[in-house]
Amino acid sequence: MAAVSYMSAHGQTYLTRNGQVSFYSKTPMEDIKAVNKQVYAAIDLSTKTVAFTLLLKAFLFDKQLMQDHFNENYVESDKYPKASFTGSFKENIPATPGKYPVEIQGQLTLHGVSQPVKIPATLEIMPKGLSSTAIFTVRPSDYNIKIPSLVKEKIASQITVEVSANCSTVK
């Protein structure tokens, strides 16, 4: 029984190492955007669970200085190199190709802080693989990321995060 459930679970695990997470901070003073194209993602349809993990140093900014400040002053990627998300959803996803909206509830871990989050996402069943997209917002203050008053007007209090991952089945 356990073996069967393991096998069936294994058969429905979708993985990628090239998922993409980008974030935007828009203020009248400055627009900041960064993209990370080395995101590891796993989606298991049988257990309805999702996991993401990424290295913060892999976020690329337009300006080198912003990238340095992001790593050194805000997320402190030398101390906390990774950000990760684990979650689960309740909706039933049929095996037929198509787009299915889900609500993923889980834990987002960033800067050494874990917070419960609800993320509306879309899962798309494709003939070969599974694609997922999501847009949500993150407050740096929830993750103990302090923004000094001097640059407060340049960094939004809500950062928009866009996720997309094209996963394929595990062989």
Partner 1 sequence: MQRTYLFLFSFLMLQCMQLQAQDSSLLRLLDDSLNADSRQPQEVTGTFKATQLINLPTTESPAKKTLQFLIMHRFGKLNEGAYALFGLDNATIRFGLDYGLTDRLSIGIGRSTLDKALDGSLKYKLLQQTEHSIPISVSLYELVNHYTLRYSDKPYLNARYRTSYVSQLLIARKFSRSLSLELAPSWIHMNLVPTPDDKNDVFVLSAGGRWKFTKRMSLDAEYNYLLPNQAVSSNITRSLSFGVSIETGGHVFQLVVTNAAGMAAPYYLAKNTGSWGNGDIYFGFNISRSFNWNRK
The residues that touch partner 1, with contacts defined as CB under 8 A, are 9, 13, 15, 17, 40-42, 44, 47, 49-55, 57, 62-65, 68-69, 71-73, 78-79, 82, 84, 86-88, 106, 148, 150-151, 154
Shortest spacing between CB 106 and partner 1, in angstroms: 8
How far is it, in rounded angstroms, from Cα 69 to Cα 13?
Answer: 37
Shortest spacing between CB 95 and partner 1, in angstroms: 19
How far is it, in rounded angstroms, from Cα 155 to Cα 33?
Answer: 11
Shortest spacing between CB 47 and partner 1, in angstroms: 4
Nearer to partner 1, 2 or 95 (CB): 2
Nearer to partner 1, 74 or 138 (CB): 74
Residue 8 three-state SS: helix
Which phi and psi angles does 65 have, rounded to 5°?
A: -65, -40
Burial (CB count within 10 angstroms: exposed 0-12, middle 13-18, buried 19+), residue 71: middle
Nearer to partner 1, 42 or 159 (CB): 42
Shortest spacing between CB 84 and partner 1, in angstroms: 6
Residue 25 has, within 13 A of its CA and on its CB side, a CA count of 21
